[in-house]
Structure formats: C-alpha cells, structure tokens
Structure 1
Amino acid sequence: MNYVGIDIGSTASKVVARGEKELHFVLPTGWSSKETTMTIKERLLTEGIDVLSDETKVAATGYGRIAVDFADYVITEITCHARGGRELGGDNLAIIDVGGQDTKIILVARGMVQDFLMNDKCSAGTGKFLEIMANRLGITLQELFDMADQGTVLPISSLCTVFAESEVINYIGEGRKREDIAAGVVDSVAAKVAQLSQRKSLPDKVILTGGLSHSEYFTKALSEKVGKTVEPTAFGRYAGALGAAILAEEKSR
C-alpha cells in the first residue's frame, strides 16, 4: 500500500508518500489549486503511484484541500499539522507553523490537540511578508536572513503588509543599509509570531514548522521573542503533508 498526504498551501503545495514508495516534493501552488492538483497527480504517477488505485490512499489538507477530488480523506490543517508535528517532535509540544498566508500555534499534550490559535488574515507575521520584502530588496529569502544576521534592527511597526511595505520603501528612500532593513523585516515577523504564541502557555518543547522551519536565524530570533528555545525542523515544511499521509494510513487500518 501507498499512503499519500497532499497539503495544498497558499503559496506552495507539499506532497509526502509513505509505504511501498517513499518520497516527498514541493511545488508552487500557482493561481489554480485545481491545476496544481493535476500536476501532483501526474508527478505521482511517474513515480509509480497511481492515486486512483485501490493500493493507494490519499489524504488532502491545506486551504486548497477541496480541490483534491481524488482524495480518500479531506482533513483540516490543524489535525494534519498536529499529527505531523508529533512525528517530528513528540507527543507533548507546541507547534508554531509559519505559512504563506497564516501562522498557527498548536498545543499538543499526550498526542492530542489541546488548543490552537491562528493569526488575523491581514497581519504581516507570515512567510509571504518575508518573500514580498525580499523581492522589494532585490534578494532571495536566504539572502534576507544572511543580511539580517549582519544588520541592526530598524523598527517596522505596521500590522498590515501594505503599510509595512511602505515603511520599508521609506527606509530604502532614506538610503538605509539593506542589512539593517533586512534585520528589521525579520524582527518584525518574529515579533508578530511571538505575540500570537504568547497568548497561550507554551510547554518546554516548541518546534517550528512551515517554510521557515529550516532557518536557524529565524528560530533564534523567534526564541528570543518567545522566551523559550524554538527548535528548527529539517522536514518541517512538510509537516502538514506528513501528518496527512500518516492519518491516511491510520484511517485505512
């Protein structure tokens, strides 16, 4: 049997397959979740996984999960991210997931979701904000972190991405150093994520998932804001898809 988890996110779609075939990949979601879903279906077929076969069970999650019309199970993001986070960090932990359009705080105790929070749709504490700011500065996301590590934080106070971008444009117009602007951008996102997470009592174990989960610089900045060590996770970008694949297997038993 093959068990496939598909996480259709706002900016990227992640796929994890477990069982007879073990693989994972990510691709841009693009403008159409439906088209992305078809691309995933074709990619899996080339890897020897026929999603329409009785030998394959598929679970879909993410904001575009309803577009996966061949899914055997459609499961909420919180449930899948919690299951994936458990696999990555254990049964008692907090999962901070910084996605493209939202940030989620999920508290897991004894393997069960105890509570969760999501940020406001208009807030700038997301990965998409970092991408927008990196593009504005003419650098990649990794270069943004590298520059931030060399800079001094410039304050960016706006909660809205549009107004925060205006602050960055003003700094550029003033001739401020890119390193300092980059440090301000990363600090701003870390502060907003920390503000959300501090609305709940976090356990000792805290992991970061999502597109920024591999960044030691961001986790360091976030740890300082949260007051606890936030651990990066090498496979954290796939937490939702991993959880979906595991749940597909568990539901099929």
Structure 2
Amino acid sequence: MALTIGIDSGSTTTKGILLEGDSIVRRFLCQTSFRPADSIIEAWETLRAGVAGKPFLTLTGYGRQLVDFADKQVTEISCHGLGARLLRSDTRTVIDIGGQDSKVIALDESGNLADFLMNDKCAAGTGRFLDVISRTLGTQVEQLDIITDGVEPHPLTSMCTVFAESEVISLRSAGIAPEAILAGVINAMARRSAHFVARLSTQGPLLFTGGVSHCASFRRMLAGHLNSEVFTHDDAQYAGALGAALIGQRQGKRS
C-alpha cells in the first residue's frame, strides 16, 4: 500500500498525517506561523523524512493554495467527513470547531457528504474565542478541564468576542470566581454549537473534531444541550489531514 500525506493548513495550527492503508504512520502538529507556507513546508519535510520516493500530497485548509508542490488541493469539508469516518466508522454527523471557524457536516449511510453548514464570519464559538477569554482570566485553554471541573457555570449574556471580553472583566471585578466565569463561557459556546448542529437535519452518532474537541468540559456540556452522546477521538484534531491523505489514496488507485 502506497504512503500518502495529507496536510491541513489551518488558521491556528497546521496538521499533517502520513498514511498507509488505514494506519497512521506519522503525525505532525505545529502552530501555524506568520507565513503559513513555512508551516506547510515543515510538515511536508517532517512527514516524508526517510520515506523512499515522493508520497502523494493532498492539501486542505485555509493555506492549501500557498504552495505549488502539492499533488491535489481539496476543500476541508470533504476531508473532515472522510477523516471522521476513519476515526469512527458509524459517524453520521461531524461538528468541527477549529481556531477561527466551526462547521457541521451531515453524512449519509455510506459516509458521503449529504449537507453542511460553516461559520467563518464570527469568532464566537471558536477556539480563538476560548483562547481570548482564557487569557483575559490569566489561564490557558489546556487548563480549562481542571479549572472548571464540578464548577457551576455563571451565565454570560454576550457571545461577541469584544463584548464578552468586557463582560468577563466586569464579572471578575464584581467578585465572580474566574472558574465560574470560564465554565459559563464554555457552556455558552456549547449551547451556541448545539443550536448550530440543530440547523441541519442530522442523525447520530456525532463525532466532535478540531482542537476544541480536546476540552472534555465543552464536550460534556455540548452533549447536555444536544441531549445526545457526543463522541471524539485522540486523533480528532487530525481529521482534516487524515481525510486529505485518504483522498490521496483514492487518487493513486484511480491513476
């Protein structure tokens, strides 16, 4: 089975997968640099190191058109659906929350794209929003699960990034515990995401992908608002890159 590489050039992180059959041989993850093409090149060189020949390279994500050495460029919607199905074969709905956008993808019984919605116009409900609020309260996204474990969420009235940041500062000045504010922010984001999912005629099981899927508190609150189970995977952040590598496999078979 030929080796293929998929690279997902995201606004916040660049992800890459070296794939052989259904098996992940190598992973790559870094913060997307000031020049996203540099991160793509770093991913490509790292993933192909020591590999005989030139693996088929498929690019997806915001920066997919920034380099000229890819064999194929594909929109992230197709890639995320394919990658999600490889991570969990019975997936029918995908919600992906990345650094600067969120998307819901509906798949048919065969795993083909049936419908989707994408929000890339508003930062609210994205990883960037969560990062901004966390830094405002003096913490990091990676610490949210520990900080908010068992904490009652404090209501948040605004989901606009600018106004929410001001509201968080006001709540802190009023003596509201930062743990309760953070739990409230996560809960408000999860509720917004649940409404986003509800706009599509989706069926379960639902797989949660993207960087925010690592936040167990978010996943738990999202499941509560959806009143259904929300699954994820250790490689959920790589779903786009994984799908891109799978598309490369299919292209190679056709060739």
TM-score, reference length from structure 2: 0.92
Q: Which residue of 2 aligns with 1:207?
A: 207
Q: Which residue of 2 aligns with 1:168?
A: 168
Q: Confirm or deny that 1:87 pairs with 2:86.
A: yes
Q: Confirm or deny that 1:26 pairs with 2:46.
A: no
State whether residues 91 and 108 of structure 1, in contact with CA within 8 Å, keep that contact through their aligned partners in structure 2: no
State whether residues 6 and 58 of structure 2, in contact with CA within 8 Å, keep that contact through their aligned partners in structure 1: yes
Q: 1:174 to 1:205 in 2, by over 3 A?
A: same
Q: Which residue of 2 aligns with 1:153?
A: 153
SS class of match (2:189) = helix
State whether residues 159 and 188 of structure 2, in contact with CA within 8 Å, keep that contact through their aligned partners in structure 1: no
How far did 1:95 drift? 0.3
- State which drifts further: 201-210 or 96-105: 201-210
SS class of match (2:4) = strand
Cα distance per residue 1:18-53 (max 9 Å; x no partner) = 1398100200002211221222233235x3247xx5
State whether residues 100 and 123 of structure 2, in contact with CA within 8 Å, keep that contact through their aligned partners in structure 1: no
2 CA distance for matches of 1:242 and 1:68? Answer: 19
In percent, how many aligned pairs have the same letter? 39
State whether residues 131 and 141 of structure 1, in contact with CA within 8 Å, keep that contact through their aligned partners in structure 2: yes
Cα distance per residue 1:49-72 (max 9 Å; x no partner) = 47xx5x310000011111132110
2 CA distance for matches of 1:113 and 1:181? Answer: 37
State whether residues 122 and 159 of structure 1, in contact with CA within 8 Å, keep that contact through their aligned partners in structure 2: no
Q: 1:92 to 1:152 in 2, by over 3 A?
A: closer
Mapping 1:68-87, distance limit 5 Å? 68-87=67-86
State whether residues 150 and 179 of structure 1, in contact with CA within 8 Å, keep that contact through their aligned partners in structure 2: no
Q: Which residue of 1 aligns with 2:177?
A: 177
Q: Which residue of 2 aligns with 1:59?
A: 58
2 CA distance for matches of 1:239 and 1:137? Answer: 30
SS class of match (2:180) = helix
Mapping 1:8-157, distance limit 5 Å? 8-19=9-20, 22-45=25-48, 47-49=49-51, 53=53, 55-109=54-108, 110-157=110-157
Cα distance per residue 1:180-233 (max 9 Å; x no partner) = 011111111111111111112221201100012233322111001112111121
1 CA distance for matches of 2:221 and 2:231? Answer: 11
2 CA distance for matches of 1:97 and 1:75? Answer: 17
> Would you identify which runs of 4 or more consecutive aligned residues in structure 1 move more than 4 Å?
none
State whether residues 15 and 43 of structure 2, in contact with CA within 8 Å, keep that contact through their aligned partners in structure 1: no
| Runs of 5+ consecutive residues of structure 1 not aligned to the other structure | none
| Runs of 5+ consecutive residues of structure 2 not aligned to the other structure | none
Work out the number of aligned pairs and report it.
249
1 CA distance for matches of 2:68 and 2:181? Answer: 43
- The residue type equivalent to 1:32 in the other structure is R
Q: Which residue of 2 aligns with 1:238?
A: 238
SS class of match (1:180) = helix
TM-score, reference length from structure 1: 0.92
How far did 1:104 drift? 0.5
- State which drifts further: 73-82 or 182-191: 182-191
2 CA distance for matches of 1:43 and 1:64? Answer: 18
1 CA distance for matches of 2:75 and 2:142? Answer: 30
State whether residues 213 and 234 of structure 1, in contact with CA within 8 Å, keep that contact through their aligned partners in structure 2: no
